[in-house]
Structure 1
Amino acid sequence: MNKTKRGKQDYLQLQQQLIHYKSEISKYKHELASVQNKLLQEREKTDYYKAVIRTGEQYRIAKEQFEQEIQYVQSKLKEAEKNAEKMNMQLSIVEEERNDLLKLLKAAVTNLLKEKQSSDEKINQLLLEKERLITQLDKRLEKEQFRIDLLTAERNELLNTSQFLFQSLYEKHVEQKEVDAVGKENTAFMDDPIRARFIHSIVLPHENGDPVTILGHAEIENITEQTLHHPVLCIKIHPHQHVQFSGKIITTKKQNENDFNYKTDSSMEWKYLHPDWRKQIQEKGEYWLKPSEKMAIEPYEKISFEGFHIVFPLDDFDEALVIEGFVYCQEKKNGIPFENKIIIN
């Protein structure tokens, strides 16, 4: 019994000693770790000191190199200062030259501005002179054009007069030569109260492709002792396609661009008889006209439709162009044909 108790006590003591030894071992381990940490720190310090020593040697070498570089840079700096002085001297010279050039340039610009102002004044004077000359030229051209118009009118009158004289001489010759053959016809004409005829001239083309122009008058004469009322003129053109007819026709509106819309003291005014005159022209080639103010032809009085123009292209016609005239009045409602026709072959 006592042995058992003693064994238990020994066992307990052994356990306590084991626990103590374990704690001692843990303590020693902790101290060993602390020593190892201190050793590591000492190694780091040693490495640092070694690095510092190495850095100091490098610093010394770098310092020597830096001092050499400083000396080299200082020498270059002195060189640069000398060059800068030279450049400053050259710059001052250049600035002086620039100032001189600026003065010259300002003087040149001032002179150019004065010359420009003078040139502008001269240009304005020339423009005014040009406008004055243009105005004078326009007035002169108007006078020349008026003179040309007068000469043209005189030429047309001379042409018409010569044509009339030629036509009269020709008709007298024909009447004298063929008096017996046309006796009855002449007697018939003498029975008519009106004598009407064309007086015309033909302007042939100067070049191929130019149109033919007919200039003429239509004369109507009352050869009786009675007054003829409401005279009407009909001019018929065959074929009428491609033919342009114009004359001194008064219109209330611009009915036809080829008609003259003016009044002269030397000619009567004529106007279209029917409101649908354009249709009659397009379909039949008939131009129906009446005096605009004169309502009657007094005994032995002569009226005329003056200055008509007929223009047509010769190349477009394969047949003869025939222009006929007819006169109507209240006393001759069936109409009286003109004594002559205009025929272009």
Structure 2
Amino acid sequence: MFWKKKKHVTAEGLAWFSYAVMLPDMDDEEKEVTVIGNLIIKNTGNTNLNNPMICLRIKPPENVRLGGKIGSLTHTALMIDGTNSEAWHYIDDNWKEKSLENGEHWLKPNHCRQLEPGGSLTFSNELRILTTKKEKFVMVEGFFYCDEIKNGIGALNNITINF
């Protein structure tokens, strides 16, 4: 008699930043450092990851603007840019106050409800950092959450800028 070995279900993922830093022109009066990058999430387990969401924590939150493919659920103009990355939206209505208070930006993809094994999801972003601010550093941490990984996983790397 042959026994069938039960397949162990694992919900696992990896998250990491890939990014480039652009320094301001030294002649500009308003000096801004621009960071263009992606937070990439990959399902490394053998089961679907449902209801994906991310948190970007920016320290210190002052004088840093987060941009990217962020809009409302029905906004399509942000999605028509020729890239394969997903458009995202803020989870909370009062996101602006919360992000200024604690530096956290909680986002969900507009269309991706499930990340299949081996699949990946990308949040494309742009940060603009004023160099005239008091603190001369910025750190961005990334976290990925889903129904199966409620405590979340941190990104393998952070974005750290010192100027």
Specify if TM > 0.5: yes
Q: Which structure carries more strand by proportion?
A: 2
Q: What's 1:318 paired with?
A: 135
* Larger Rg belongs to: 1
Q: Pick the aligned partner of 1:194 from 13, 19, 39.
A: 13
Q: CA deviation at 1:214?
A: 0.4
Q: TM-score w.r.t. structure 1 length?
A: 0.41
Q: Which structure would you say has the larger RCO, counting Cα contacts within 8 Å and 6 or more residues apart?
A: 2
Q: 1:251 aligns with which of 61, 66, 72?
A: 72
- Pairing 1:290–2:108 present: yes
1:86-235 paired onto structure 2 within 5 Å: 193-207=12-26, 209=29, 210-235=31-56
Give the alignment's TM-score, normalised by structure 2. Answer: 0.83
For 1:235 and 1:251, how far apart are their aligned partners in 2?
18
Unaligned runs of 5+ in 1: 1-190, 255-259
| Residue identity matched to 1:229 | N
- Please state how far the C-alpha of 1:250 moved relative to its aligned partner: 2.3
| Amino acid corresponding to residue 223 of structure 1 in structure 2 | T
Aligned 8 A contact 2:17 2:38 in 1: yes
Deviation at 1:309, TM superposition (A): 1.0
Runs in 1 of length 4+ with deviation above 4 angstroms? none
- Distance (Å, rounded) in 1 between the aligned partners of 2:132 and 2:11: 39
CA distance in 2, matches of 1:192, 1:229: 10
Match of 2:93 in 1: 275
> Paired residue for 1:236?
57
C-alpha RMSD of the superposition = 2.1
Q: Secondary structure at the match of 2:98?
A: helix
Deviation at 1:192, TM superposition (A): 7.2
Structure 1 residues 261 and 324: alpha-carbon distance in aligned structure 2, compared to 1, 3 A threshold: farther
Map Cα deviations across residues 178-222 of structure 1 (whole Å, 9 max, x no partner): xxxxxxxxxxxxx97111000000001121542111010110000
Change (3 A) 1:204 1:295: same
